[in-house]
């Protein structure tokens, strides 16, 4: 199932919640796949958080270099 497109403007107050709902099923699927091959749920979720944090930091570095 594809991730649905956003249906509201970037600064709409409900957009963040809509984004979470849009990616939730894919994330649950990813956690399930990793768990099925032997990774433990706590390490899977910690890894996802770390990756998200690193992506966020990299994005901040990109935008700060442009200024």
pLDDT digit string (tens) for 3-36?
Answer: 999 999 999 999 999 999 999 999 999 999 999 9
What is the per-residue pLDDT for 59? 80
What is the per-residue pLDDT for 50? 97
Residue 23 CA to residue 51 CA, distance in Å, equals 15
Is residue 46 within 8 A of residue 55, CB to CB? The reply is no
Instruction: Find the length of the chain.
Output: 67
Residue 13 CA to residue 15 CA, distance in Å, equals 6
First CA to last CA across the chain, in angstroms? 39
Q: Is the pLDDT of residue 67 over 60?
A: no
Nearest to 6 by CA among 26, 27, 60, 20: 20
What is the per-residue pLDDT for 66? 60
């Amino acid at each position: 199932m594809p991730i649905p497109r956003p249906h509201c403007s970037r600064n709409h107050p409900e957009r963040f919640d809509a984004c979470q709902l849009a990616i939730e099923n894919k994330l649950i699927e990813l956690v399930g796949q990793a768990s099925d091959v032997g990774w433990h749920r706590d390490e899977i979720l910690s890894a996802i958080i770390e990756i998200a944090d690193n992506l966020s930091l990299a994005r901040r570095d990109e935008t700060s270099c442009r200024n």
